[in-house]
Structure 1
Amino acid sequence: MPAPNVTAIRKPTDLPGGSENPRITLSTVTTPVRHELVAVERAIQAQLKSDVALISQMGAYLVAAGGKRLRPITVLLAAHSIGYQGKDHIALAAVVELIHTATLLHDDVVDESTLRRGRETANAVWGNAASVLVGDFIYSRSFEMMVATNRMRVMEIMAATTNAIAEGEVLQLLNTQSLALDEADYLRTINRKTARLFQSASQLGAVVAGASSAAEKTLAQYGLELGTVFQLIDDILDYTSQATDMGKNAGDDLAEGKPTLPVIYAFQKGDAIQRAVLENAIINADRSKLPEVLEVIESTGALAYTLALAQKHATKAQEALEALPDSDYRIALSKLVDFAFARSF
């Protein structure tokens, strides 16, 4: 059966921010910080250079692959949303993206992925050893940049964040090719693996602006909810999008034996035959079973359930923003939630 179009089960009124356009563009979100994003990109490029030729070569490849840059966008918007006027947020936005890049390098090795952002993964081009080592280099570079900001709170946040990300990766590894976990287990994993870095991105915006602990807490909550929305929609898109849209192969989670929420929910709600289909596909990490798995997760309402949960977290993110002063940056943060919820890539 053809992959269902996830946008078909969304209505404009589903958008937590009340947008009339369920396919809001990222360029609309970034309008207030467009020029600063150019500076962030330059900072990223500078930090990915080294006297070691292979590092510079891989760094250039990673930069050329692009990406949505949602995490650095979050840093910039969060800082300005509470009145920041300096320049240190540029470096911190680059730090967050570098850490994200390092985790992707390591993820692709663990998952044996071959396609990301529409091109071959670094490990497919240079091998696993080079990808792991360059990922380590990028991690260390990001911490050098943090030290240069001379803000201990930044170090505290990001040290805890990188630990949490590693724990999330291990939890995911432990649950690979198994359907023994439930929804709470899965949400605990994505909280650490994905949402935590979004949380830190928002939090760093408050820290660099010297905001109150209340403002830091508000932005941290916003980022956590935003990151959860992002991952839940990612889970849906893995089963419903084409490689040309997502920049990676459809059914990658299935091929890697990763039980994401649509499968977990379908397994809990399905009958014996449906559960057997899902269990066989996940345990054997069998992408060829994608059509059968899609049929089960659709018939059990798993896609709609996952979308509804994403909407719930999107609403929480929007509610967190109510504590911030009115500004174009707060509006952009709201639009960022809409984008994360309604995106198709």
Structure 2
Amino acid sequence: MSTLSIATAKEVFDLLRDDLAAIEREFAEQSASPVSVITEIAQYLIAGGGKRIRPLLLLLSAKALGCESESRIKLGAVVEMLHTATLVHDDIIDEADTRRGRPSSNTTWGNSKCVLAGDWLYMQAFHTALEERNFRVLDLLISLTQQMVEGELLQMQKLGHLINEEEYFDLIYRKTACLFKVSMQLGAAITHASDETDSQLGEYGRNLGLAFQIIDDVLDLTASEDVLGKPVASDLREGKATLAVIHALERGTGADREAIRKVLADRSFENVSHPQILEILNRHGSIDYAMDTACAYAEAARLSIADLPETEAKRALLWVPGFVTSRDR
């Protein structure tokens, strides 16, 4: 039985500070284009910040396996470029006005320029990854991109419709957890780790990513706009049924189900208010159910790396699930 303690936030930051700064520089360097509007959009997106949790996972995965090569920096920038490209495209698809408390890029440059800038970031990410001359890396990134696109298309097909938990978990795996999983597996790929280690790291990323997205969906329902940095309850307004909503639909009265269906179909709170929906969710314990499910996936992530060597990187990986489930934005 391991007695390894969980790292503190300060210890994790101290462990990764220099590497994360190097990834930020690499991201900026790789995002520069002779076409000035691409560079402008990329710089705007980089300045918007974010948690950088995906490159953080790649760094910890590589460190846990003893990797100190430059590959971890380049691929850290790659996963953040891919993530940023998906955000640009998501904002266009969702017609979002804000992102992280600032105007979304498409409100400044327009949809046409931003969709092309997102495409450029995708291709630049693959160009950078190609320098590794590692077929496993390319295989992971190609499969990842296909999964994310499929997830977005599936979600668009289901907007305004009721879905069950199985469909929900399939969607959030494709849209979010798959990138967490691949970020961890890239650490294994650049260290040529065993299939067993690759599987353990991938399982950690998958479970963590599912927890992350469930928490995101709960915050969309419960957080304030000032804290969240974007309009609240945007999922319901876009016709998306998330875990707490699915739970309430399965357990609510006929009137409860009709109220939720109305919001999903209308894609607005014109006929049923946001506080009314929250009352239904809280009455059936649906928010607590979603939070408990996220915490269960977070704990599963910790358990999946039990066999890793006991290093500072492993202590940091044990910290991340708690950070994911306790955040407020």
The answer to whether the superposition gives a TM-score over 0.5 is yes
Whole-Å Cα distance in 2 between the matches of residues 129 and 100 of structure 1?
19
**Aligned with 2:22 (options 39, 47, 54):** 39
Whole-Å Cα distance in 2 between the matches of residues 258 and 342 of structure 1?
23
CA displacement 1:237-262 (0-9 Å, x = unmatched)? 00111122222111111121111111
In the alignment, is residue 155 of structure 1 matched against residue 138 of structure 2? yes
Paired amino acid for 2:99: R
In the alignment, is residue 84 of structure 1 matched against residue 39 of structure 2? no
* Unmatched tracts of structure 2, length 5 or more: none
TM-score by length of structure 2 reads 0.96
Whole-Å Cα distance in 2 between the matches of residues 127 and 293 of structure 1?
33
Q: Which moved more, 1:74-83 or 1:209-218?
A: 209-218
Task: Give the structure 1 partner of residue 312 of structure 2.
Answer: 328
**Aligned with 2:46 (options 63, 80, 86):** 63
Q: Which moved more, 1:283-292 or 1:204-213?
A: 283-292
Count residues in correspondence: 324
Whole-Å Cα distance in 1 between the matches of residues 86 and 121 of structure 2?
9
Task: Give the structure 2 partner of residue 226 of structure 1.
Answer: 208
Summarize the alignment of residues 1-345 of structure 1 with structure 2, pairs less than 5 Å apart.
25=9, 27-179=10-162, 181-287=163-269, 289-345=273-329
Whole-Å Cα distance in 2 between the matches of residues 177 and 256 of structure 1?
8
Secondary structure of the corresponding residue to residue 146 of structure 1: helix
Assess if the C-alpha contact under 8 Å between 2:260 and 2:277 holds in 1.
Answer: yes
Paired amino acid for 2:258: A
* Unmatched tracts of structure 1, length 5 or more: 1-16
Whole-Å Cα distance in 2 between the matches of residues 50 and 292 of structure 1?
49
Secondary structure of the corresponding residue to residue 286 of structure 1: coil
Whole-Å Cα distance in 2 between the matches of residues 194 and 185 of structure 1?
14
Whole-Å Cα distance in 2 between the matches of residues 296 and 329 of structure 1?
42
Whole-Å Cα distance in 2 between the matches of residues 71 and 29 of structure 1?
14
Paired amino acid for 1:344: D
> Among the aligned pairs, what percent are the same residue?
36
CA displacement 1:304-333 (0-9 Å, x = unmatched)? 111111111111100011010101100101
Evaluate the alpha carbon distance shift between residue 197 and residue 31 of structure 1 in structure 2; reply closer, same or farther with a 3 A threshold. Answer: same
Assess if the C-alpha contact under 8 Å between 2:263 and 2:269 holds in 1.
Answer: yes
- Per-residue deviation, 1:29: 3.2
Whole-Å Cα distance in 1 between the matches of residues 269 and 13 of structure 2?
36
Task: Give the structure 2 partner of residue 6 of structure 1.
Answer: none
- Per-residue deviation, 1:18: 9.1
Whole-Å Cα distance in 2 between the matches of residues 329 and 214 of structure 1?
18
Whole-Å Cα distance in 2 between the matches of residues 78 and 200 of structure 1?
11
Assess if the C-alpha contact under 8 Å between 1:235 and 1:260 holds in 2.
Answer: yes
Secondary structure of the corresponding residue to residue 131 of structure 2: helix
- Per-residue deviation, 1:287: 4.1
Runs of 4+ deviating beyond 4 Å? none
Assess if the C-alpha contact under 8 Å between 1:30 and 1:332 holds in 2.
Answer: no
Assess if the C-alpha contact under 8 Å between 1:43 and 1:94 holds in 2.
Answer: yes
Q: Which moved more, 1:222-231 or 1:47-56?
A: 47-56
Evaluate the alpha carbon distance shift between residue 130 and residue 287 of structure 1 in structure 2; reply closer, same or farther with a 3 A threshold. Answer: farther
Paired amino acid for 1:338: G
How big is the alpha-carbon RMSD for the aligned residues of Structure 1 and Structure 2? 1.5
Assess if the C-alpha contact under 8 Å between 2:5 and 2:315 holds in 1.
Answer: no
CA displacement 1:221-248 (0-9 Å, x = unmatched)? 0000010010000011001111222221
Assess if the C-alpha contact under 8 Å between 1:251 and 1:287 holds in 2.
Answer: no
Whole-Å Cα distance in 2 between the matches of residues 331 and 287 of structure 1?
44
Whole-Å Cα distance in 2 between the matches of residues 148 and 18 of structure 1?
37
Paired amino acid for 2:248: A
Paired amino acid for 1:301: G
- Per-residue deviation, 1:90: 0.5
Whole-Å Cα distance in 2 between the matches of residues 339 and 177 of structure 1?
32
Paired amino acid for 1:160: S
Assess if the C-alpha contact under 8 Å between 1:252 and 1:287 holds in 2.
Answer: no
Assess if the C-alpha contact under 8 Å between 2:22 and 2:73 holds in 1.
Answer: yes
Paired amino acid for 2:129: M
